[in-house]
Amino acid sequence: MLISHRKNFIYTKTNKTGGTSVEAFFESYCMPEGQFTPSHGREETISEAGIIGFRGKGDGNSFEWRHHMPARQIREKIGADIWNSYFKFCVVRNPFDRAVSSFYFRCDAVKKKTYNDTHPEIFEQWLEENRLGGTARHFSIDGKMCLDFLIRYEHLHEDLETVCQRLDIPWDPEALPKYKSKSRPPEAKPHRLYTAKSRAIVEERLQEEIELLGYEFPEA
């Protein structure tokens, strides 16, 4: 998560949406000018310029500020005045597609296979046996949207350009890092991977996220 006092914005970080890359793109504006160096990980950083939540191994619960903090918790810690006056945004993604990316990122059984096909039976079993965390807590409070803008993963660059224009930040697509982007094979599309059962699991577990964001199952 990011809070920039230099540019008056708050960024909440969701899971498997390209969130680390977007976070890294904007975090220089949460540090005093001249102190930023690119890094995949980041220690908790607090200064007069802003706040960068801990981004590293583990859940970061020992830190006051950490990545993937819920919006409600950020609001409580930063206070209503800053929360209400700063521009708030995050990245969201079709939950059915996000579940596939979580699967390939976290499932060791799949990583050991040659990626010459999709694995619907393993995906279904993984969904049955593992917790699939939702992202609604990062953009909603009490079931209501609490951010000013949602960057849609499906048109990431266009929406990032919109945010940069709003914040008076130069937009350079080449400056957007590509972290955690190699675990999923390109042929692993939702319409090839889902069974009726696995689709029902995602619909049930991520119902709030699906409804708030207005996504449907991608048929192709």
User: What is the pLDDT at residue 104?
Assistant: 85
Q: What value does the mean pLDDT take over residues 122-140? A: 91
Q: Report how far residue 186's alpha carbon sits from residue 117's, in angstroms, rounded to the nearest whole number.
A: 10
pTM: 0.91
Partners of 3 in beta bridges: 10, 51
Partners of 95 in beta bridges: none
Is 38 within 8 Å of 159 (Cβ atoms)? no
pLDDT beyond 70 at 56: yes
pLDDT beyond 70 at 59: no
Q: Report how far residue 190's alpha carbon sits from residue 154's, in angstroms, rounded to the nearest whole number.
A: 14
Q: Report how far residue 92's alpha carbon sits from residue 74's, in angstroms, rounded to the nearest whole number.
A: 18
pLDDT tens-digit readout, 1-54: 999 999 999 999 998 898 889 999 999 999 998 888 887 888 899 999 999 999
Q: Is 95 helix (H, G, I), strand (E, B) or coil?
A: helix
To the nearest 10 degrees (0 to 180), the angle between helices 196-205 and 95-106 is 100
> 8's torsion region: left (phi>0), alpha (psi -120 to 50) or beta?
left
What letter would DSSP give residue 45? E
Q: Is 148 helix (H, G, I), strand (E, B) or coil?
A: coil
